């Protein structure tokens, strides 16, 4: 799910500075001091111990293992609305929302009804189905850059298709990405930037061949000069600039408006494509994604998460002349056995139907802002430095003085040790937050003001005790 955050636990100086297990032990000792009843996790522990024997690290995707905050993960039994329930019967107010898709709330009744109906006709056709047209029309109508779309099964697959497409279309191989931005786990994207302004990419994970990343250049987010420099050094060779238009994989980091506008100008001037990876931000920060929120239109967009309504879906889309390069309309090959399957299409359609109602994003942002204001005030009251932000239904904070403009700021300034303690203490009191300070938070339509007020009250109690 989140390579950036997972690798942070291995590579960042702030992560290396403390031992998560020790923090967990210290947090558990805090139980006795708290007014709020705290949870126990007996069954979760048992199931996770068994899982570790069966699956690498006990999980199907790395960040779920809680490595960067310490302690073991809780094992979920079921989810509904704003809540998750673990196998020990503990209830959590959930701000992870299955990493973004659950924007209506978990297991929305209308989405469940729609999938149940659709399932009666079968789960996969491997042939064209009208539901693909229906979802495609909705995506095209909503997202300013998208005139045609190709559905995939995950965000990673969408990004893999996208990178091949930008290279095929431009006849160039080099791409620019940004330090701390995650675009799925395909080889070309697993590049860790050095501390300099712009460095030539080197493989970030064993098993990624140098040849796969040597055409990947890393620039610094919110730093146009770092991008210009790479363009100057690689004239007529850059196929595309690819970014998260609001970063959610280095923690929550907003782009400067001038940064996005500058990228649009630079790419145009150099005959390169601008790609917004909206796997996280698409239908999340606004119905038309970050491109609508900021009024900057890229050439190509990747999507996922929300457009699948909780089922596995990804998509990439863009201008017609670009998308017509994709097979079988054009020569660029990309395929998928389960792509466009009726269940996922129907879940996406039903989700977008509900999201397209007036006022939805204003309400999501109001609630996210209320949560952030409450947590910020509590942190300040108890003497903790904090910097926070919101965009539509996405939010986040770092325990440090702001601003945090990019991954280097997050890595160098934010207090990872404090975050780990905070995470465990919130969890033990019924608030489920992403288990890494390099992740964003997600608000859903199902969260009530009472849920948010309860979260703020718990945060106040935790922050009062947090050292």
Ligand X SMILES: Cc1ncc(COP(=O)(O)O)c(C=O)c1O
Catalytic amino acids?
182, 277, 305
Residue 277 found at the interface with ligand X (CB under 6 A): yes
Orientation of helix 130-142 relative to helix 342-355, angle to 10°: 30
Tell which residue, 179, 165, 325, 146, has the closest CA to residue 239.
Answer: 165
Residue listed under structure tokens 């310490």: 70
**Helix, strand, coil abundance in the chain, percent, nearest 5:** 45, 15, 40
By C-beta, is 249 or 387 nearer to ligand X? 249
Q: Residue 434 half-sphere exposure, CB side, CA atoms within 13 Å?
A: 29
Cα-Cα-Cα-Cα dihedral of 264, 302, 305, 124, to 10°? Answer: 160
Tell which residue, 184, 180, 175, 183, has the closest CA to residue 192.
Answer: 180
In angstroms, the CA 37 to CA 197 distance is 48
Total binding residues toward ligand X, as defined by CB under 6 A: 18
Residue 367 found at the interface with ligand X (CB under 6 A): no
Residues in 226-245 at the binding interface with ligand X, rule: CB under 6 A = 244
Orientation of helix 360-381 relative to helix 342-355, angle to 10°: 80
Residue 287 found at the interface with ligand X (CB under 6 A): no
Quick one: which of 155, 262, 298, 435 contacts ligand X (CB under 6 A)?
Answer: 155
By C-beta, is 246 or 431 nearer to ligand X? 246
Residue 317 found at the interface with ligand X (CB under 6 A): no
Binding segment for ligand X (CB under 6 A), chosen from 40-48, 69-77, 117-125, 179-187, is 179-187
By C-beta, is 129 or 275 nearer to ligand X? 275
Nearest distance from residue 12's CB to ligand X, in Å? 18
Quick one: which of 5, 14, 51, 159 contacts ligand X (CB under 6 A)?
Answer: 159
H-state helical runs in 13-95: 13-16, 20-29, 42-54
By C-beta, is 90 or 301 nearer to ligand X? 301
Binding-site string for ligand X from residue 291 to residue 310, where x marks contact by CB under 6 A and - marks none: -------------x------
Residue 1 found at the interface with ligand X (CB under 6 A): yes
Cβ atoms within 10 A of the Cβ of 219, count? 27
The strand pairing partners of 83, in sequence order, are: 80, 93
Binding segment for ligand X (CB under 6 A), chosen from 140-148, 181-189, 374-382, 419-427, is 181-189
Quick one: which of 2, 164, 384, 411 contacts ligand X (CB under 6 A)?
Answer: 2
Using CB under 6 A, list all residues that contact ligand X: 1-2, 99, 154-156, 159, 182-184, 244, 248-249, 277, 279-280, 304, 314
């Amino acid at each position: 799910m989140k390579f950036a955050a997972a690798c942070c636990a291995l590579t960042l100086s702030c992560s290396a500075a403390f031992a998560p297990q020790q923090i967990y032990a210290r947090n558990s000792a805090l139980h006795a001091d708290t007014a709020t009843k705290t949870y126990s996790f007996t069954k979760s522990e048992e199931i996770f111990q068994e899982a570790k024997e069966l699956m690498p690290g006990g999980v199907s995707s790395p960040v779920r293992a809680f490595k960067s905050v310490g302690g073991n993960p809780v094992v979920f039994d079921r989810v509904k609305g704003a809540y998750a329930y673990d196998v020990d019967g503990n209830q959590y107010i959930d701000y992870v929302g299955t990493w973004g898709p659950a924007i209506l709330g978990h297991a929305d009744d209308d989405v469940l009804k729609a999938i149940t109906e659709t399932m009666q006709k079968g789960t996969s056709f491997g042939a064209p189905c009208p539901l693909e047209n229906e979802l495609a029309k909705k995506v095209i109508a909503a997202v300013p850059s998208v005139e045609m779309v190709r559905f995939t099964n995950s965000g990673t697959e969408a990004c893999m298709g996208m990178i091949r497409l930008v290279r095929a279309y431009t006849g160039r191989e080099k791409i620019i990405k940004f330090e701390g931005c995650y675009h799925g786990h395909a080889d070309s994207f697993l590049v860790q930037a050095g501390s300099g302004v712009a460095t030539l990419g080197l493989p970030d994970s064993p098993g990624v061949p140098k040849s796969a990343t040597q055409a990947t250049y890393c620039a610094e987010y919110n730093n146009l000069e770092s991008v210009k420099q790479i363009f100057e050094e690689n004239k007529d060779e850059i196929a595309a600039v690819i970014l998260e238009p609001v970063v959610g994989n280095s923690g929550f980091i907003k782009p400067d408006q001038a940064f996005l506008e500058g990228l649009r100008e630079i790419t145009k001037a150099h005959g390169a494509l601008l790609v917004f990876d909206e796997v996280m931000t698409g239908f999340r920060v606004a119905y038309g994604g970050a491109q609508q929120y900021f009024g900057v239109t890229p050439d190509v967009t990747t999507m996922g998460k929300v457009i699948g309504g909780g089922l596995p879906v990804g998509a990439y889309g863009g201008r017609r002349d670009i998308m017509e390069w994709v097979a079988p309309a054009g020569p660029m090959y990309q395929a998928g056995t389960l792509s466009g399957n009726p269940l996922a299409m129907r879940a996406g359609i039903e989700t977008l139907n509900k999201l397209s109602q007036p006022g939805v994003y204003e309400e999501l942002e109001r609630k996210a802002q209320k949560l952030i204001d409450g947590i910020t005030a509590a942190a300040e009251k108890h003497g903790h430095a904090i910097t926070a932000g919101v965009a539509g239904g996405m939010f986040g904070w770092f325990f440090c003085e702001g601003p945090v403009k990019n991954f280097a700021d997050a890595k160098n300034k934010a207090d990872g040790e404090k975050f780990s303690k905070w995470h465990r203490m919130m969890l033990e009191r019924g608030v489920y937050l992403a288990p890494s300070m390099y992740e964003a938070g997600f608000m859903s339509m199902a969260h009530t003001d009472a849920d948010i007020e309860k979260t703020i009250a718990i945060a106040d109690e935790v922050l009062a005790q947090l050292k």
